[in-house]
Structure 1
Amino acid sequence: MAKAVADVDSGSNQGGFTTEGGNVTGFSTMHDSGTGGSPSLGNFAFFPYAACPGDDINQCIYPKKTRKLPYRADSVKASPGYFGITLASGVAAEMTTAQHTSLFRFKFPAATNGTSPLLLLDLTDLSDSRQDNASISIDSESGRMTGSARFLPSFGVGTWTGYFCADFKAPSIRDSGIFVNSRASADVKDLKISRSINGFPLPGGGFIRFASNPADGVLARIAVSLISSEQACDSAESEIPSFDFDATHNAAISAWREKLSPITISTTGVDKSLITNFYSGVYRTMVNPQNYTGENPNWQSDEPYFDSFYCLWDSFRSQLPFLTINDPAALTDMLRSLIDTYEHEGWLPDCRMTLSKGYTQGGSNADVILVDGFIKGLKDSIDWDKGYEAVVKDAEVEPYDWCCEGRGGLDSWHNLGYIPTQDFDYKGFGTMTRSVSRSLEYAYNDFCIAHMAQSLGGKEDDVEKYQERSNNWKNLFKQDQKSLLFNGQDTGFTGFFQGKYLNGTWHNQDPLWCSTIDPNQGRVCSLQNTGQETFESSLWEYGFYVPGDQAGLISTYGGPSAFVKRLNYLHDQNITYIGNEPSFLTVFQYHYAGRPALSALRSHFYIPRFFSPTHDGLPGNDDSGAMGSFVAMSMMGLFPNPGQNVYLITPPYFESVSIKSPITGKTATIRNVNFDPSYQAVYIQSATLDGVDYRKNWIDHSFFTEGKELVLTLGRNESSWGTRVEDLPPSLSEYVGFGNGTANGTVARRFRRIEGSIGSVRVEDVGGLL
């Protein structure tokens, strides 16, 4: 719950700090990671002064917008459990954390010896969302500050209240008090402050001054709670009782080492930046969701409580499936938390932050997460009967506010087999857009429910019903829909998903609207009521979102060759945007057409071009570790199709990768023979699993839990490995149209390299591979 860092005013500051040359506005404890949109959290920030001019507390600057300072770019130091930075004023700040508590160390320039350093504590947050009646009280003897404030969630509805407890360690305290606007008083120890009527929260909070400037700095400890200031104080005293910075930091390092320890790689010959890239991706998968167990005031429960699900639409694709491998205990607690939220609030969330319901972007994708954990064998006190009840309710009962839970348009979904454009829906309410993307996601949600019903047994009627509904994607396929480039040139492809009205007539959204090449970058494909019928992407992109029936989709597009040609066009013409989650699976969908070599090729095109350990090394915001998990799983060589017991095999970016199962203690290993760190030999020629010839281009979760060994022999030519129909991943429909029992008739095509840059792809001597 405590994630201490500097807060800045630059454009990508959703997680508090970003290296875009912004100004530091304070140092706060609560943060989310890479959420996009409005900044999240950043509550109850400290701000340090070496001294107030003229030794007058009213000469210090208190409002956030005017006190902010640049930082020294070369001073930034970040590692798991630690952040350090020096302000332009010369004040150096270091911070580390425990579970609910942050410990800050502020060191002031030596030239100010004999003056009185000051720390203020601000009753605001990163996005200035504080509402009325924030409060702070300062103990005149110890300087302890306690209080609370009510805030808005950054991507949801309602309000939430946060509480804090701050203590300080210095040789002696000179005075303390409160500030309002630009003035302060040591005579006043209590403050209750309104938001004001001018669209921003009035500046207000507390301050403390120290009688001297100790060489080893001033320590500030602050704990946060969603229950009470008393609970925050209890956490602070139990978690960091002695203000020991080094001990707290070392404990954080140990906790992170344990979390990162299941995965080890061979670094032989591999560029250091790729190693950093990989482990940075692994690290970021474990920052959100956040464990708020014991901090939920809304209901009493013995179950875990997790928050900061930003949002399952982003994280169900690879982030949470990655945790199934690397941290199944945490994921198990998250699943229990989701089911417990259903038990007490009536619905599984699709997005949730700070006790608030977040906006649903597409389908009811908690269904996918639950099913993914179920079919991969997670147990440990998960009530799977209750979980099944929850996913069935998503499919059958429409909530009043489907903006923020469940699904909308269920009458049409059940009766027409699609969500109509401009649907007539009087039972529940949400933004009446995204009819195509919602339909495709609902279809896959139902596929997953059928999968779970089949695995539970005794639910044959449900299996039949939800499998049938999972075919509803076919009802929005418009066979004669053409796609022209914006210069009028025909793309050469016909047949796309398209919106359909209640009366069965077709809507007419251009398949390239909201794609990366759409010249109208102001076109809305989001939650606004002026949005299109797809969410955050184009009809071209969503044309591949049928995860449960890739064989059926391949047939719809005219067979494997036509499918590969269309998928190549999506990537080669820069229609897809790898900085957004719908693109992830498209990188690897060549497997289903019997061309796993092309999946490896695409993976190496995007990494490290678009993902690297540099200041601007992500193509978009991290979406709470979604981008990190894409990097981690791609580089491991096993990418999931979530909701199914399927990992698509490509060569790892290392000579070997070993994953020790935290559940069984057994170690699974993927080993490359003929490993080439220049990544020219990225094609699997043959494979063995535990020493036995293995031809399938996918593997299931038992690989990890049973500690198997997958050995891949690599070469520079695409081979016949993984190309036969019997080698392909499972699909609801049967594979048809694959000549000679293989997915491609010509498998000895050679390539040298693909060179590319953002916005274009240059192909050199590909020899017909693409």
Structure 2
Amino acid sequence: MMRGFTTAVFLTMILSASVAAQPTVRLTDHVNPFIGTGGHGHTYPGPSLPFGMIQPGPDTRLTGWDGCSGYHYSDSRIFGFSHTHLSGTGIADYADVLVMPATGEVRLNNGSDGRPGYSSAFSHSEEVATPGYYAVTLKDYGIRAELTTTLRAGMHRYAFPQGQPAHVVLDLEHRDKLTEAAIDIVTDREVAGVRRSSSWARDQVVYFVIRFSRPFAGAPAKPSRDAADGTLKRVFHFGTGGEPLLVKVGISAVSVEGARRNLDAEIPAWDFDGVRKAADDAWERELSKIRVDGGSREQRTIFYTALYHAMLTPNVYMDVDGQYRGRDFKVHKADGFTYYSVFSLWDTFRALHPLLTIIDRARTRDFIQTFLRQYEEGGRLPVWELAANETDTMIGYHAVPVIADAIAKGIEGFDVERALKAMKHSADEDRFGLAAYKRHGFIDASDEAEGVSRTLEYAYDDWTIAQVARRLGREDDYARYTVRSQAYQHLFDPSTGFMRPRVEGFWLEPFESREVNNHYTEGNAWHYSFFVPQDVEGLMRLMGGPEKFAANIDALFSADSRTTGREQADITGMIGQYAHGNEPSHHMAYLYAYAGQPWKTQAMVRRILDTLYANDPDGLSGNEDCGQMSAWYILSALGFYAVTPGSTQYVIGSPRFDSATINLENGQRFVVRASGASAGASYIRSARLNDAVHDRSFLEHAAIANGGELTFEMSSTPAPSWGAGGSGRAHEPLAAVATPAPFVATGEPTFRGTQLVTLGNADQDAVIRYTVDGQLPTDASTRYTAPIPVRDDTPDRKLIYLNDGKGRFTVAGTWGVPAWSTRNASVADLNGDGQPDAIAANRPGPSFVCLNKVSGQFGADCMAIPAQSTTTIVAADFNQDGFVDLAVPGRDGGQSQI
């Protein structure tokens, strides 16, 4: 007995010692920054701090779509190390202030043109990237280069081969077009300057200060602004021996002094390893906001790399003293918050910002404070803001749902009344088709490109404004924007089941659901016909009810994956016509839950998680898009997704790990347990929330924010009854307050003789009333019950309607000639009398201008424009002489004219 006991104790001691001897695995060990650097991911492997302002790293590619970040895994040469990089964008910019260590003969050419240059070959076998650290061997020189970073300053360490003359090239001409630049030699260890460039950001400015750990040879005795060979490049020589050369680089958008203060505050010493450790610690703290258990090492690497990518942008855009360059390009100071830049909002409103409302409420508040500063200093909320420039890339006004989502989830610390004012301002402008959207209730194909996508996204954004207005008790605003939020109905064609472009009451023909064209944004009818996140139940009604709606989603995922029409590189990651590589598809797998078929959501979400993400340079199915692609993975792997940002509801999918713990800022923890999930069980058989049965396919934000435990019983086979019926279904009810606009179901826009015109409506219960005398229909007008005979001699009257200020219109008179085949009318003061005049664009035949006598009264005389056959005319003062000119695009072979 005693011997057995002794043996047992001894074995226990050995096992305990063995466990204790194993190194602790940090979460940063699970991050692979090379994921997304191949294929079309457009990520970069260089170091950055969470949301950091500086991103020192290697540049391997100067041009091309897959060179947007400056680095692509398929390349074999490095041009140097620049200090700003964009993560996963579809347009190139940044790569500012490039430095490159070298030995031997000095070359100022970068080598991209085939001539000898300072670039160097490298091998991935000698390349390392971890959060906050990057290292590579430059094979042409035998130099080991290492990089690390703080929030606003980067640090390099170069180990040169002994006996070789070492030098460092500074190249301000790298990549973007320079508009202003200077290199100042401050001392024999410090260089400062500015790089102002034009690319995607039309006017970007970066000030910099560079310090070397030892003096460079040949430095002037006093500050100098000379540059080698008359170029904006400089070479610094450091002899043939000694310890590794350390280089510190601080940047600022404000001034050289700002860059110097940033550098002094964040890297005061020459301690590369200390900076590297601090960077790794910073990432460990951020990644610890979510801890997952179970799954394979590959799956954990995919998860934590996704979390890493989700924390790279937006970027801090202010100096240590709070100064920043605003949207008016003036210098301002942020008091009590951190100012940010790089807002890829068309992408990130969908998943990244909802994720951050859970794990980073403090930064979310600062993002909104930044939005409001940009509204004050730039005149409107950001659309796609980059380095103090509004690029107006993509569509919608998606700062609005980010604000609304934060308000819905209880994030405070900003002026909500001012926020609502800014949101309404974005919605009530007249740019980008909004004037037509407000006038018609949707955007006609003749009004603006991408009209279908714009209408759908504007309608969703308007819904989020309505929610904020309701919370503030603004009933008029709530009613107005709720009506606008149902604009999607006007573009739904019940005969095809798709959202389609309309032209003057007709559906645009021919129609092909897979065609990529200029009526949809980076997509086609499949990709946009399911984008009604604010009113899924309303969309479901239009499509024929839950069963038909679910069948349509089935068709989406099983359709031919080929597209027609324009080539669109963003349409990738295909499952049928679902395109995970681009954002409009990201919510679609979760829509089954609204139709009472959540098990299909579970199966498809798991399929996407397992097949469209990988621990590989080509491990993303499309552009990372500043964290959106990764945020989708994080939320979906946790087991829920925000289909409708601005709502408090998440739709439950299929958790990927046996357990996941979200460590909240309020000190609470929310734990998701799904035993067996990592072993392949993707279906939910039952669930409990804090020990109470949870038979709903959705989850409220408060359940997460308050902390608690959500436990799933997982299964390898579907459980169709869970979350499928009644109140258990995902839902976001929205009362129907708008009726779809009627359309011409049969009939031709142009014809001879007589034809029967059939009218239709997406709402089968809608009542259509019409007139044939040019008057606007009223409740007393003829009710449509049968096809209407129309003759080609029916008067084509052109009328002026006056608004009484309450949305009621009366006819003030006519203008022009009924016989004109007028395709479009525009308005401008052509004779300078202060009265708006009318311009008729006619096809076929000449176009005319008609002068307004007073208050909408027109005489009989109109003047012909010397141009034949057009469908639109634009009025503007093209030569700046104070008179309105006309741009007439020619049709039918005619020459366009001014």
Taking structure 2 as the reference length, the TM-score comes to 0.70
**Contact preservation (8 Å) 2:176, 2:199:** no
Pairing 1:173–2:206 present? no
Pairing 1:309–2:342 present? yes
Identify if the C-alpha distance between structure 1 residues 61 and 389 changes in structure 2 by more than 3 Å, giving closer, same or farther.
closer
- C-alpha deviation, 1:60, in angstroms: 6.4
- C-alpha deviation, 1:134, in angstroms: 1.3
Q: Provide the rounded CA distance (Å) in 2 between the counterparts of 1:48 and 1:302.
A: 37
Identify if the C-alpha distance between structure 1 residues 504 and 616 changes in structure 2 by more than 3 Å, giving closer, same or farther.
same
2:420 to 377, 388, 402: 388
Pairing 1:300–2:332 present? yes
- C-alpha deviation, 1:356, in angstroms: 0.5
| Paired AA for residue 316 in structure 2 | N
In structure 1, what is the equivalent of residue 671 of structure 2?
Answer: 669
Equivalent residue pairs, number:
652
Deviations 1:168-204 (A, max 9, x none): 013x532358xxxxxxxx999423799xxxxxxx953
Matches within 5 A, 1:329-728: 329-379=362-412, 381-398=413-430, 402=431, 408-423=432-447, 432-456=448-472, 458-480=473-495, 494-501=496-503, 503-508=504-509, 510-514=511-515, 525=517, 532-573=518-559, 574-641=576-643, 642-662=645-665, 664-673=666-675, 675-679=676-680, 681-719=681-719, 720-728=721-729
In structure 1, what is the equivalent of residue 143 of structure 2?
Answer: 91
3-state SS in 1 of match to 2:355 = helix
Matches within 5 A, 1:88-127: 88-89=139-140, 90-110=142-162, 113=163, 115-125=164-174, 127=175
- C-alpha deviation, 1:142, in angstroms: 2.1
1:209 to 208, 213, 237: 237
3-state SS in 1 of match to 2:679 = coil
In structure 2, what is the equivalent of residue 51 of structure 1?
Answer: 104
**Contact preservation (8 Å) 1:660, 1:704:** no
Matches within 5 A, 1:276-295: 276-293=301-318, 294-295=323-324
Pairing 1:142–2:170 present? no
In structure 2, what is the equivalent of residue 36 of structure 1?
Answer: 90
Q: Provide the rounded CA distance (Å) in 1 between the counterparts of 2:227 and 2:245.
A: 27
1:237 to 264, 268, 274: 264
Deviations 1:237-295 (A, max 9, x none): 2211112101111111111111111111112xx21110000011111111011011333
Name stretches of at least 5 consecutive residues in structure 2 with no aligned partner.
Answer: 1-52, 560-575, 737-898
- C-alpha deviation, 1:13, in angstroms: 3.1
| Paired AA for residue 97 in structure 2 | F
In structure 2, what is the equivalent of residue 764 of structure 1?
Answer: none
Identify if the C-alpha distance between structure 1 residues 60 and 359 changes in structure 2 by more than 3 Å, giving closer, same or farther.
closer
In structure 1, what is the equivalent of residue 177 of structure 2?
Answer: 129
Matches within 5 A, 1:188-203: 189-191=224-226
Identify if the C-alpha distance between structure 1 residues 568 and 43 changes in structure 2 by more than 3 Å, giving closer, same or farther.
same
Identify if the C-alpha distance between structure 1 residues 545 and 244 changes in structure 2 by more than 3 Å, giving closer, same or farther.
same
Identify if the C-alpha distance between structure 1 residues 637 and 120 changes in structure 2 by more than 3 Å, giving closer, same or farther.
same
Q: Provide the rounded CA distance (Å) in 2 between the counterparts of 1:654 and 1:510.
A: 43
Identify if the C-alpha distance between structure 1 residues 661 and 51 changes in structure 2 by more than 3 Å, giving closer, same or farther.
same
Q: Provide the rounded CA distance (Å) in 2 between the counterparts of 1:227 and 1:462.
A: 39
1:67 to 92, 98, 118: 118
**Contact preservation (8 Å) 2:513, 2:525:** yes
In structure 2, what is the equivalent of residue 20 of structure 1?
Answer: 74
CA RMSD of aligned residues (A): 2.2
Deviations 1:436-462 (A, max 9, x none): 000000110111111111122x21111
3-state SS in 1 of match to 2:207 = strand
Matches within 5 A, 1:736-755: none
3-state SS in 1 of match to 2:486 = helix
Identify if the C-alpha distance between structure 1 residues 62 and 25 changes in structure 2 by more than 3 Å, giving closer, same or farther.
closer
Q: Provide the rounded CA distance (Å) in 1 between the counterparts of 2:550 and 2:506.
A: 30
| Paired AA for residue 135 in structure 2 | G
3-state SS in 1 of match to 2:494 = strand
**Contact preservation (8 Å) 1:310, 1:623:** no
In structure 1, what is the equivalent of residue 57 of structure 2?
Answer: 5
Pairing 1:159–2:159 present? no
| Paired AA for residue 450 in structure 1 | A
3-state SS in 2 of match to 1:174 = coil
**Contact preservation (8 Å) 2:60, 2:79:** yes
Q: Provide the rounded CA distance (Å) in 2 between the counterparts of 1:728 and 1:342.
A: 39
2:247 to 202, 214, 220: 220
Q: Provide the rounded CA distance (Å) in 2 between the counterparts of 1:376 and 1:506.
A: 40
In structure 1, what is the equivalent of residue 867 of structure 2?
Answer: none
3-state SS in 1 of match to 2:177 = coil
- C-alpha deviation, 1:143, in angstroms: 3.1
**Contact preservation (8 Å) 2:108, 2:169:** no
Q: Provide the rounded CA distance (Å) in 2 between the counterparts of 1:227 and 1:96.
A: 23
Q: Provide the rounded CA distance (Å) in 2 between the counterparts of 1:734 and 1:238.
A: 55
3-state SS in 1 of match to 2:146 = strand
- C-alpha deviation, 1:375, in angstroms: 0.2
Q: Provide the rounded CA distance (Å) in 1 between the counterparts of 2:159 and 2:218.
A: 19
In structure 2, what is the equivalent of residue 180 of structure 1?
Answer: none
**Contact preservation (8 Å) 1:96, 1:248:** yes
2:296 to 267, 271, 274: 271
Q: Provide the rounded CA distance (Å) in 2 between the counterparts of 1:69 and 1:478.
A: 57
Deviations 1:571-629 (A, max 9, x none): 22221211101111012111111111111111121223111110111111100111111
3-state SS in 2 of match to 1:474 = helix
Q: Which has the higher strand share?
A: 2
Name stretches of at least 5 consecutive residues in structure 1 with no aligned partner.
Answer: 178-185, 195-201, 403-407, 424-431, 481-493, 516-524, 526-531, 736-770
Identify if the C-alpha distance between structure 1 residues 109 and 510 changes in structure 2 by more than 3 Å, giving closer, same or farther.
farther
3-state SS in 1 of match to 2:532 = coil
Sequence identity, in percent?
28
Q: Provide the rounded CA distance (Å) in 2 between the counterparts of 1:387 and 1:212.
A: 60
Determine which structure has more spread, i.e. the larger CA radius of gyration: 2
**Contact preservation (8 Å) 2:498, 2:513:** no
In structure 2, what is the equivalent of residue 181 of structure 1?
Answer: none
In structure 2, what is the equivalent of residue 756 of structure 1?
Answer: none
| Paired AA for residue 317 in structure 1 | R
Q: Provide the rounded CA distance (Å) in 2 between the counterparts of 1:371 and 1:263.
A: 25
3-state SS in 2 of match to 1:448 = helix
Taking structure 1 as the reference length, the TM-score comes to 0.81
